[in-house]
Amino acid sequence: MPMQANEIERRIREALPDARIEIQDLAGDGDHWAATVVSEAFRGKTRVQQHQLVYKAIGTEMGGQLHALALTTGVPD
């Protein structure tokens, strides 16, 4: 069963409580998602390190229950 948007958001928010999160279903199949995550925790980190923090929050379901997640990350203005 694919991972739902609210579960993706819950996991990210648990790891990054201050995050501003937007989730979009890219294909309408609940399997291919895009997420925009803005968090102070990303400040001073490379884009790769930012994405690693988000993937770590998703956990072992990345690549399984969650097939694809396109990420856009950044720090607050």
Cβ neighbours around 34 below 10 Å, total: 14
In this prediction the pTM is 0.89
pLDDT at 65: 67
Q: Residue 20 forms beta bridges with which residues?
A: 38
32: pLDDT strictly greater than 90: no
- Distance, in Å, from the CA atom of 23 to the CA atom of 34, rounded to the nearest integer, reads 6
Mean pLDDT (the chain) is 90
Q: Position of tokens 């925009």?
A: 36
**33 class by beta-carbon count within 10 Å (0-12 exposed, 13-18 middle, 19+ buried):** buried
- Distance, in Å, from the CA atom of 48 to the CA atom of 10, rounded to the nearest integer, reads 21
40: pLDDT strictly greater than 90: yes
**Residues 65-73, mean pLDDT to the nearest whole number:** 85
